[in-house]
Amino acid sequence: MAKTVLARLAGACRRVDNAPQARYEALVVSRLAVLASLSLSPRDVPPENWNDWRWQLRNSVQAEDIAKLLELTDDERLGLAAAGHLFRVGATPYYFSLIDREHPHCPVRRQIIPWGQELRTVPAELLDPLGEDTHNPTPAIVHKYPDRVLLLALDRCAIYCRHCNRRRLVGGDDPPTRAELEQAFDYIARTRRIRDVLISGGDPLCLSTEKLDYILSRVRAIPHVEIIRIGTRVPVVLPMRIDDALVAMLRKHHPLFVNTHFNHAKEITAEARRGCEKLVDAGIPVGNQAVLLRGVNSSVRSLRRLFRELLKMRVKPYYLFQGDTVVGTDHLRTPVETAIELMAGLRGWMSGMAIPHLVIDAPGGGGKVPIGPKYLADMNDERVMLRNYRGQSIEYPQPQDKDCTVPYDSVFFADELPDDDREGGA
């Protein structure tokens, strides 16, 4: 058993670091020493290690480690025993250290440790809930919307969230090859309707700064690409990765946006705040895409605190996703009517800047569909009846003139063709 564990750890160290034999054997010994202490508190690890993002990745807490570090519930034990057949378990020591060890409903704990309910599936659940595999013209590209594509740069993450909608692809050891990345760049270059490239995976900020710079440079060199975005959970689970070298590299590729994934205010630590502020101080807008998780953040108090704390560190709440219909996550999904009620407890009760779009990412690849409380009660040619956030009815008069043609469009857009609205098929 010990030899098996050593072999696995050695392989993990080698994959992260590309280290020579002697070095990764030393890393294995280091990791075993950390686990032997039965503690992953920053108080018990030298600061030069704890604050090193590569050390954090090398010492990721795996399924077999958790029982040594926590007193588990029966449901957690069942989930961990089945994890090998469900979805990889793993989190950085930093993120694991945020767990409330006394409470199994801790929002951090719920996102790391599977429950036995992951074994239960319902008929509507899908391996590929967003229909990505039918919109991939090349292995590393998903093209569901006419003017933007998803570039899958990596198949690994700093945490394997229990609600992950891409669990069929991430958590393995089969990252996109150089040839597949080149195919992706070629597809973007020859598809002129693409203006926006979202780099995700896996988590692209788990790549080395040099490798990520290479990918960003190749995309930025394509003339018709206007916007580059990075989707990452690193500011939440590995904030020490947001170092000066990374930020200096990222700012070379403006206009660049980062979308991150805080789900609960408990995740907004001093370290996470510093990481996000480094990005925005470098002129990189940061948005947040939260997932509504039943029993984790599915209360008005929880969402209000999360969105207010995000704004305080200049991170814009962007989306609040209704849970995707991915296999094994039914127990984490919130009823849609409850989601709408929760949104009714936000708009009007807090700054509009703190209100995300509540959306369902339609199963099968239908795209993001906004949902929310009904503020429009009735409408005709003369007036609109509205209901405000307090439930009061208000009348708004319709204008007399109805023609909304913009005459100058024919001048301003005289030399432009209509938008090409095709997607990209498999």
Residues 6+ apart with CB under 8 A from 189: 222
DSSP string of 88-124, one letter each residue: --EE-HHHHTT--TT-TT-HHHHHHSPPGGGG---TT
Q: Is 350 helix (H, G, I), strand (E, B) or coil?
A: strand
Check residue 142 and give its pLDDT: 95
Check residue 84 and give its pLDDT: 87
Cβ neighbours of 62 (radius 10 Å): 20
Q: Is the pLDDT of residue 19 over 50?
A: no
Check residue 370 and give its pLDDT: 95
Please report, to the nearest 10 degrees, the dihedral formed by the alpha carbons of residues 277, 280, 281, 284 taken in order.
150
- Report the first-to-last Cα separation within the chain, whole angstroms: 43
**For residue 31, what are its two tokens?**
């990791």
Q: 237-241, 244-248, 412-416: which range is least confident on average?
A: 412-416
| CATH numeric code, 132-370 | 3.20.20.70
Q: Indicate the pLDDT class of residue 162, thresholds 50, 70 and 90.
A: very high
Euclidean distance between CA atoms 207 and 213, whole angstroms: 10
Mean pLDDT of all residues in 51-66 = 96
Q: Which residue has the higher pLDDT, 422 or 408?
A: 408
Euclidean distance between CA atoms 60 and 408, whole angstroms: 58
Mean pLDDT of all residues in 399-424 = 92
Check residue 14 and give its pLDDT: 38
Check residue 93 and give its pLDDT: 97
Using CA atoms, how far residue 130 sits from 164, 288, 366, in Å, is 12, 20, 7
Average pLDDT of the chain is 90
Q: Where are the domains of the chain?
A: 2-119, 132-370
Residue of 84, 90, 33 lying closest to 57 (CA atoms): 90
* Alpha-carbon 151 to chain mean position: 14
Task: Report the amino acid identity of residue 180.
Answer: E
CA atoms within 13 A on the CB side of 135: 22
Check residue 34 and give its pLDDT: 52
Instruction: Name the DSSP letter for residue 326.
Output: B
Check residue 3 and give its pLDDT: 36
Question: Residue 399: which H helix or E strand, with range?
Answer: none
Residue 46, φ and ψ in degrees, nearest 5: -55, 135
Using CA atoms, how far residue 24 sits from 154, 163, 193, 354, in Å, is 22, 32, 45, 45
Euclidean distance between CA atoms 145 and 367, whole angstroms: 8
Q: Which residue has the higher pLDDT, 426 or 391?
A: 391
